[in-house]
Amino acid sequence: MIPFYKLERYEGNEALFELVMMSIVASLVGEPLHIHAEGLRGTGKTTIMRAAKGILPNITRIKGCVYNCDPAAPHCPHHRNMSPNEISNLGTEEIPMPFLEISHSAKVGTVAGSVDLARLTDISHPEAQLLPGLIPQAHRGIIFIDEINRLADTSPEITDILLDVMGNKPGHIQIEEAGLPVVDVTVSVSVWAASNPDEDPGPVEEIRRQLSDRFDMVCYMGRPNSVDILSQMLKENSHQWKAQAKEREAAVEEGKNEVFRSNIVKWAGQYEKADLPDFLRNYIARLYIKHNLESIRAIEAMQSGAILHSIIKGRDKVAINDVTHMIPLVLKHRVDSDTMVRMINDVDSKGVKDGILSFKNRKKNDKEADPDYFPHNATPLKDIRRSDLVNTEKSLTPNEG
Ligand SMILES: [Zn+2]
């Protein structure tokens, strides 16, 4: 597999690289960010998502806890009722942020949990206990689902579980097994999904609209359209290159991944302290009202997305561009294309007076809310009378005409 840093970046896939990093940063501070990459075969969506496994930072958990209990906030059935003293006696360990994958043929027991057969059949000490499934084991990390549209179509039970997991931040999951008490645990998991909406059974929003809305952001992958990029991709996929690359790059790769990891840790620290300026929050609220958006999730995603985007781009302040950059990602799966085009035009071209960016209701003393992007002291050309223009020309060149 080609390492994350080496994957070709081009216009059509850039957004996914950003979303992947934004989601890891958010997951590290305990706030899941669910992302979905849609696109045709060969656009590299699953490759990018799987390669991100190489750049995941470490998390600290209670030693040996399969539920990944945070020593400061234990949540699992074994540790949640222990005293801080008992917890610290158990010790801690560092593990890579979990990244687990659910296939579209997975069973409920694998995903949620089931009875621990090894313990049940232990000859010396048989005991009925629950074995947490993939989702509770991915707590504080990532769950990846390729072909989520097929999963939504064929596994309504797993879809229901995902709706619970993604319903709130953090979400929750119930592990049920006949004869054992139901266990309900909190799970803070970012769900990453990929699908090809042009293949059977079609786009997720047409199969389970609710599930589609649970994704904070959706990006539609474009194909590479430059000869240079395509030939580089071909080269890296050739057998010979792959064989040589193994030795050549093992050390380099680890070093480059380490750069991503330490950036992610740094960004997470910034994200915990960052906030959106009030005028941008008002702007998002106005988008919601003016365009009659139905989903509060959408504008929440726009807010956290704008902050995360400004951070991974190395800026110390969130700008209007960070918000507008989020519009297609947050709304593609939530509004019809006409509404989205209207919104983007609203921002891009309509000018200050009638556009949604109008700041006329703002208080004058709000310094941050008074950007100097739009100076009003010049007279626009279209407002000058034709005779004024002619006169000016005449007065400047009195000897002509
Ligand atoms: Zn635990």
Angstrom distance (rounded) from CA 376 to CA 107: 62
Q: What pLDDT does residue 310 have? A: 97
Gap from CA of 203 to ligand 1 centroid (Å): 37
Strand runs labelled E in 196-326: 217-220
Gap from CA of 132 to ligand 1 centroid (Å): 11
Angstrom distance (rounded) from CA 355 to CA 343: 10
Quote the pTM value: 0.82
> Percentage of the chain with pLDDT > 90?
54
Angstrom distance (rounded) from CA 293 to CA 331: 9
The residue type at 347: V
Residue 173 and residue 185 in contact, taking contact as beta carbons nearer than 8 Å? yes
Angstrom distance (rounded) from CA 160 to CA 148: 13
Gap from CA of 304 to ligand 1 centroid (Å): 29
92 membership: H or E segment, kind and range: strand 92-96
Gap from CA of 86 to ligand 1 centroid (Å): 12
Which CATH class name applies to 4-57+97-253?
Answer: alpha beta
Angstrom distance (rounded) from CA 189 to CA 170: 7
281 membership: H or E segment, kind and range: helix 278-290
Gap from CA of 79 to ligand 1 centroid (Å): 5
Gap from CA of 136 to ligand 1 centroid (Å): 11
Gap from CA of 122 to ligand 1 centroid (Å): 22
Residue whose structure tokens are 């400047």: 396
Which regions in the chain score pLDDT beneath 70? 120, 127-128, 245-251, 347-401
Q: What pLDDT does residue 105 have? A: 83
Gap from CA of 268 to ligand 1 centroid (Å): 24
Question: SS3 for 116?
Answer: coil
Gap from CA of 70 to ligand 1 centroid (Å): 8
- Written as six digits, the tokens of 311 are 């951070």
Q: Could you give the residue ranges of the DSSP H alpha helices within 6-133?
A: 14-28, 45-51, 84-90, 108-111, 117-120
Gap from CA of 95 to ligand 1 centroid (Å): 14
Q: pLDDT, tens digit, for every residue of 133-190?
A: 999 999 999 999 999 999 999 999 999 999 999 998 889 898 887 777 888 899 999 9
User: Is 8 buried (19+), middle (13-18) or exposed (0-12) by CB count in 10 A?
Assistant: middle
Residue 223 and residue 45 in contact, taking contact as beta carbons nearer than 8 Å? no
- Written as six digits, the tokens of 67 are 């539920």
Gap from CA of 135 to ligand 1 centroid (Å): 14
Gap from CA of 80 to ligand 1 centroid (Å): 7
Q: What pLDDT does residue 349 have? A: 52
Gap from CA of 71 to ligand 1 centroid (Å): 8
Q: What pLDDT does residue 343 have? A: 80
Which residues of the chain does CATH 3.40.50.300 include? 4-57+97-253
Gap from CA of 76 to ligand 1 centroid (Å): 4
Residue 306 and residue 323 in contact, taking contact as beta carbons nearer than 8 Å? yes
Q: What pLDDT does residue 53 have? A: 94
Angstrom distance (rounded) from CA 215 to CA 286: 22
Gap from CA of 33 to ligand 1 centroid (Å): 23
Gap from CA of 177 to ligand 1 centroid (Å): 19
Q: What pLDDT does residue 387 have? A: 46
Q: What pLDDT does residue 359 have? A: 45
